[in-house]
Chains A and B, each alone.
Chain A
Amino acid sequence: MIEFDGVGVGYDGRQVLGEISFSVGPGSLTALVGPNGCGKTTLLRAAARRITPETGRILVDGKPVELYQRREFARALAFLPQQRPIPAIPVRALVSHGRFPYLGLSRRLRAEDRQAVERAMADAGVADWAQRDLRELSGGERQRVYLAMALAQNAGTILLDEPTTYLDLRAQFELLGLLRRLADQGACILLVIHELALALRYSDRMVLLDGGRLVAAGPPRQLTQQGWIDRVFGVRARLTGTGCWFEPAQEEKQDETPTDLDREF
């Protein structure tokens, strides 16, 4: 459970985010979307305590984030940043790092930690690669390994910054399907995502940012029908049965002869 209450963030006197208020409860997969530079990543970093908001509060499980101890916070919230180095490390060792906030001074894994690691690898579908080196895996596989590490953290709230970037379509579907299942099992997931079609298909809620302000929040299809996507992104969104496709706002001159069907929309 994570709540944003009037959050404002600035860099060097320039306000990047202002008056952001919304919350994500357990069992929800919420997509944070908006044009480039709208402050999505900044908001996620503030929630992960990487930057401190100038105004407002952020609460995780009802407690302001700044009141948490370091490790206690890592047990409540997991954060997967977008940019990461790819170390040469076996998959199981990486996932085991997810247990760091639970380890004592000796930093040794106890039996329950090992169990949690195996369970997280099974849940993320990476158990078969436990011995493999991270560098031998594809981008989609690595992303799932990192997700397994976050699962091993056993935190109620999981934040992900553009987890689908650089993944092929199938890997995108697999990752979002996995996140959907985790949310259905009770996780509270907030992710920044650029692939609107995926957000429409898998998320139960969409929070739309533009120019550092929250402009709309609600079920993704509803927001789309109300024209929010069109206005914020300057496109035309077309909902189909279960999916969505997009067109430029001003119809570009096309080589093909426009058909009557095109005009109808």
Chain B
Amino acid sequence: MRTSRRSCIPTLPARSTEGRAALLVLLGAVAILAAAASLRFGSQSFSLGELVGSLFEDGQDTVRRILLYVRLPRTVAGAAAGAALAMAGALIQAVLNNAMASPNVIGVNAGAGFAAMLVAGAFPAAAALVPAAAFFGALATTLFIYLLAMRAGLSRTTLILAGVAVSSMLSAGIDALTLLFPDDAVGATGFLLGGFSGVTLDGVAAAGWYLAAGALLALLLASDLNLLALGEETAASLGLAVGRVRFLAILAAALLAGGAVSFAGLLGFVGLLVPHIVRRLVGTDNRWLLPASALAGAGFVLLCDVAARLLFAPFELPVGIVMSLLGGPFFLGLLLRRGRGRVYD
């Protein structure tokens, strides 16, 4: 049946359960290798032997200190932020049934960032409040865009435009905060561009619960989200509680994006790029798409962070810049290579 008649359409790999499982393992392996590279390379590179050796020595030698207080937090942060933002992107695309949407595009990241900076400025001593503020900022922005779409019945394109408008308003708010309170917004440039220099394990751990809860909720919702692709009317007529599922998915996306932004800053693009690539590999089934996006997002951000450290060593670029420089052309190539009738929007 599947012979030359349709051969002009590239067949997607990994559509069987075994193929998808193999792909998941592959993406996991890439993420682990990227994590190893992130531990190893930097302004000072270590051999694997040095890395392993330093773990078993008790002394406070330089290698061990760099590893524990610089490289390890940075690697954990990169993996967590990449996984969380990629999952949040896949979730938002499923909720809005719109492949153009992502936490970055519709202003979720900016909402999280604005709230985080506001709270960090107002209560400099309460660092633990930052992830909570970022979460509520992300949630408020997502709900606002969602309600706008539902009430006004916005088309897909209008929705994206509305998101861009909201996003630029919030970015203006962030810019205003950095100008008005330059002392409070410590490392604001790093925050605006997104990056992991100066990240601490405590900072990541404070957001850890948000990320874990968001990821768990996302995976629990995966099958129900698949029905949303059929359209609201059809999904509801099949007995899906459409409003509830959408709200919970938005909650999960806000937990993930807010948590990630609280320590990684405004990392764009990964939430748009990674779900797109992964969708081409495993298809549109969210039960595979969400975990695969998490692994691919972790791997992608870690590799970009390694590149950010190495490209102009000893100078270091914020990872957000590298991500856009590497991801942009790749994404464009992906769009151009799409065959007709293969557009997942």
Contacts and interface: CB of A to CB of B under 8 A. Distances in A.
Interface residues of A, number: 34
B1 A100 contact: no
Interface stretch (B111-119, B191-199, B234-242): B234-242
B275 to A, nearest CB: 13
Nearest to B16: A131
A88 B283 contact: yes
A79 B237 contact: yes
A67 to B, nearest CB: 15
B238 A98 contact: yes
A100 B240 CA distance: 8
A101 B239 contact: yes
Contacts of A78: 237
Interface stretch (A22-30, A69-77, A170-178, A222-230): A69-77
B238 A97 contact: yes
B284 A89 contact: yes
B344 interface: yes
A74 B237 contact: yes
Given A85-B97, A136-B341, A73 B239 contact: yes
A184 B2 CA distance: 34
Scoring A48, A49, A81 by chain B CB atoms within 10 A of each residue's CB, the highest score goes to A81
B63 interface: no
Given A48-B237, A70-B239, A85-B97, A135 B230 contact: no
Contacts of B241: 70
B224 interface: yes
Nearest to A82: B233
B15 interface: yes
A97 B227 contact: yes
Contact of B238 (A49, A89, A100): A100
Nearest to B229: A87
A135 B342 contact: yes
Contacts of B237: 48, 50, 74, 77-81
A73 B237 CA distance: 8
A154 interface: no
Contacts of B283: 88-90
Contacts of B240: 70, 100
B49 interface: no
A88 B284 contact: yes
Contact of A136 (B9, B229, B230): B9
A100 B284 contact: no
Given A88-B283, A135-B342, A50 B236 contact: yes
A48 B240 CA distance: 13
5 contacts: A79-B237, A88-B342, A90-B15, A100-B227, A100-B238
Interface of B: 1-2, 6, 9, 15, 97, 223-224, 226-227, 229-231, 233-234, 236-241, 283-285, 341-342, 344
Interface of A: 48-50, 70-75, 77-81, 83-85, 87-90, 93-94, 97-98, 100-101, 107, 128, 131-132, 135-136, 153
Closest 3 CB pairs between A and B? A74-B239, A71-B239, A107-B223
